[in-house]
Amino acid sequence: FRQPRQPKSRIMADDSQTVILAISSGKGGVGKSTVTANLAAALRALGYKVGVLDADIYGFSIPGMLGIEGRKPVAFNKAIVPIPAHGMQVMSMGFFVEADTPLIWRGPMLMGAVEQFLADVLWDDLDFFLIDLPPGTGDVPLSIMQKLPRAQIVVVTTPQPASVTVAQRTGIMARKVQHEVLGVIENMSYLVCSKCGQRHEIFGRGGGRELAEKLGTRLLGQLPIQEELREAADAGKPVALFAPDSQVARAFLELAGRIA
Ligand code: ADP
């Protein structure tokens, strides 16, 4: 990766109309990437122009969730052309490394790549630009947050106290670097049994609302645990576009409507 001279993309410009949503979480495994991919698809289903930057550099999973694993971006006019996926534009470190090779880059190299993804990718004039941040409050997520102008942070947590506590730290970090915390998304809030119809709160109750209160922001939505969501993610077919009648797709579409 070379350092860009002139930004090729206008989404980072101060007067750009693109809404930048940075999706964060306190730890891995709470569904941050699943939420990013499916929220992006839900915004797309509502007719918006959407771009997705997978900045979860060590744990990239967006290409798989959007069905574009293994694609290789091409350069045009010294800029990188994003990969199209279901009407969206996508960029990920996953396109540049082999799937089974560990990424052993250190922070500054990673930041060089992320900066290039922000400035040197031919993003269209997007309505929404979603960034899947690395989890936690380490150097890399902090540096990425600092590079983003006018980003609104969305914090993903499960209802479980262990997830809420670490997610709160991410929200506080975002504030410290002057970003607005748009709200909290509670994932894996409940499971409706497909046989008996009973609702089970496997990870407890109320964590998302509690986190929103602690961060002085709002609870944007609660997403159920649903097998279809996991299956759709594994198949690269986001639910809002491929199974819009499922319970979880409706939850994503409502969430997108609330954000848009
Ligand atoms: P993170 O990005 O926070 O590490 P992922 O988005 O990779 O987490 O999700 C972890 C796993 O949980 C994935 O296998 C994903 O398919 C699954 N998953 C996430 N949210 C849900 C949900 N609401 N229902 C069912 N499976 C989910």
pLDDT, position 54: 97
Separation of CA 230 and ligand 1 centre (Å): 7
pLDDT band at 128 (very low <50, low <70, confident <90, very high): very high
- Ligand 1 pocket, residues with Cβ under 6 angstroms: 25, 28-34, 61, 187-188, 223, 225-226, 229-230, 233
As a whole number of angstroms, the distance between CA 154 and CA 171 comes to 8
Of how many residues is the chain composed?
260
The average pLDDT across 235-254 equals 97
User: pTM of the full predicted structure?
Assistant: 0.95
79 CA to centre of ligand 1 in angstroms: 32
- What is the per-residue pLDDT across 166-213, written as a single tens digit (0 to 9) for each? 999 999 999 999 999 999 999 999 999 989 999 999 999 999 999 999
**How sure is the predictor about 34, in pLDDT bands with cuts at 50, 70 and 90?**
very high
- Among 30, 65, 230, 248, say which to mutate for ligand 1: greatest number of ligand atoms within 8 Å of CB: 230
32 is in an annotated binding site: yes
Enter the DSSP assignment of 95: G
Architecture of domain 19-259: 3-Layer(aba) Sandwich (3.40)
Cβ count within 10 A of residue 235: 12
pLDDT value at residue 58: 84
ipTM beyond cut 0.85: yes
Instruction: Name the residue of 25, 34, 133, 227 to mutate for ligand 1: max ligand atoms within 8 A of Cβ.
Output: 34
- Tell me which residue has tokens 């961060």: 215
Rounded mean pLDDT of the chain? 93
Per-residue confidence (pLDDT) for residue 33, from 0 to 100: 98
Supply the pLDDT for residue 178: 94
CA 78 distance to own-chain centroid: 27
Ligand 1 centre to CA of 120 (Å) is 30
State the pLDDT confidence band at 24, using cuts at 50, 70 and 90.
Answer: very high
Question: CA–CA distance from 99 to each of 59, 70, 71, 239, 243 (Å)?
Answer: 11, 8, 11, 24, 28
Mean pLDDT, rounded, for 123-145: 94
Q: Which atom of ligand 1 is nearest to the CA of 34?
A: 6
pLDDT of residue 127: 97
Q: Which two tokens mark 19?
A: 């809404």
Average pLDDT over residues 15-32: 96
Chain centroid offset of residue 145 CA: 13
Whole-angstrom CA distances from 68 to 41, 82, 95 are: 14, 11, 9
| 151 has a pLDDT exceeding 60 | yes
pLDDT of residue 160: 97
Which atom number of ligand 1 is nearest to the Cα of residue 223?
23
State residue 8's pLDDT score. Answer: 75
Average pLDDT over residues 230-247: 96
Is 29 annotated as contributing to ligand binding?
A: yes
Q: Tens of pLDDT along 65-113?
A: 999 999 999 988 889 999 999 999 999 999 988 777 777 777 778 888 8
